[in-house]
Amino acid sequence: MSESVPKASLYYFPPSIWCSAVLLALQEKGYAEDEVDLKSVDLSKGENYALAFLRLNPKATVPTLVVPFEKTLSADSESRYKALTDTKAIIEFLDKSRSAISRTNTTSSAPAPALAPATIAFTAISNNIIELLHSDEGSPNAAKWYNARDETSLQELSKSLGPFFAAKRDAIAFNIAESEKGAVQASTKTKKFWEDKKAGIAELAEVFADAGKSESELSPEGKSKRAEYFKNAKKLWETDLKAVLTRVNKEMLGPFALGDQLSLADMHLAAWLARLVSLAGGNVSDKGDGAISKLENHIGNGFVLPKDFQWNPPQRDGSEVQPVTQSKLAAFWDAVKERPSWKKVYADGLH
Ligand SMILES: N[C@@H](CCC(=O)N[C@@H](CS)C(=O)NCC(=O)O)C(=O)O
């Protein structure tokens, strides 16, 4: 590729679930390593709250894809770039931008299969599934933060999330202090954004900081924050995620979201399910039935998905093809974990 062709930059954080969906899409679409610049934004250090990043994405989230527009009438350099700040839009853009007829930015000779659904009916199913996975009820990030429903698991979770939330809170506090000193110029809107985020993060940071205390050692305020935390965790896992899993399993066609062929929704679903299975204690070597049964047990109260999908899973060892009946999500897991994209993105384990 010639140096004069500007590249897109993907701002990402490797452990982030939605960044993983985009990384899977880059692999599935056959993008070469040098076609998109990968720029790390360390969420555990609160780098996403720095003014330089907020100028690209005022929502402070990754993935963010900054796309150059070469031909523009405007001399203003800002308008020559567009930032896509939402996983769905980024994956759709990456899908459209590399095809069999791409003439620029294609140093890879890998095939570029179309991931967009081919019919109106499939588009509706695809959008439905993606919407469910990105809903508040299905939030894989909330699932991670609220992955404790008793004091022992809260103590365990606080070992990793306590320092994570404290560092984020401190990074935001640093930005606020810098702007108060006049060292950086932040708008009123940005200052309010920082204050709101800091308050939200501080709530969780306090629950994790107090996780080592027994109930009787907590202040009345600490007690009510812990009770609120457990209430949210119970609702998220036992009602909301359970409902989203049930609906996704029902809406998808199996083994992939739209049947035998991989599509846009599978990028989201693969990353989402990998996160939930990892939170339920599963790992990359789990087969579909095992991974989903760990997830069902983690939700608890006897929850099981219907095992009503019959198919012939790919045989790795050349043995005779045997029809199998399992839940669609278990079939999805078996199908997706065989793909090179999955093996690459989850080479160091689920996250
Ligand atoms: N709606 C956004 C959500 C993206 C999102 O929540 N990203 C998380 C990481 S997976 C994030 O950047 N969180 C900011 C933070 O943790 O401070 C999308 O679909 O891209």
Give residue 235's pLDDT: 98
Structure tokens at 237: 């896992």
CA 290, 296, 300, 302: dihedral to nearest 10 degrees?
-90
Task: Give Cβ neighbours of residue 156 (< 8 Å, ≥ 6 apart).
Answer: 148
Where do the CATH 3.40.30.10 domains begin and end in the chain? 8-114
Residue 61 near ligand 1, beta carbon < 6 Å:
yes
Q: Name the pairing type of β-strands 81-84 and 8-12.
A: unpaired
Gap from CA of 73 to ligand 1 centroid (Å): 33
**Cβ atoms 224, 215 nearer than 8 A:** no
Residue 146: CB within 6 Å of ligand 1? no
CA 19 to chain centre: 6
* Ligand 1 and 87: CB distance under 6 A: yes
Q: Which atom of ligand 1 sits closest to the CA of residue 197?
A: 17
CA atoms of 157 and 45, how far apart (whole Å): 18
pLDDT in the model for residue 319: 75
- Find all residues with CB under 8 Å of 220, minimum gap 6, and list them: none
Q: Is the minimum distance from the CB of 17 to ligand 1 under 6 angstroms?
A: yes
Give the 3-state secondary structure of residue 297: helix
* Residue among 61, 90, 129, 135 whose CB has most ligand 1 atoms within 8 A, to mutate: 61
For residue 127, the tally of other CB atoms under 10 A from its CB is 14
| Pocket of ligand 1 contains residue 86 by CB under 6 Å | yes
Instruction: Tell me the C-alpha to C-alpha distance, in Å, between residue 45 and each of 5, 11, 351.
Output: 32, 15, 18
Distance CA 163, CA 169 (A): 10
- Answer for the pair 247, 128: CB distance below 8 angstroms, yes or no: no
Q: How far is the CA of 70 from the centre of ligand 1 (A)?
A: 28
Which residue stretches of the chain have pLDDT < 70?
1-5, 70-79, 103-106
- Best substitution site from 12, 18, 49, 86 to test ligand 1's pocket, by max atoms within 8 Å of Cβ? 18
Q: How many CA within 13 A on the CB side of residue 38? A: 14
Ligand 1: which residue has its CA nearest to atom 14?
61
CATH number assigned to the domain covering 8-114: 3.40.30.10
Return the SS3 of 25: helix
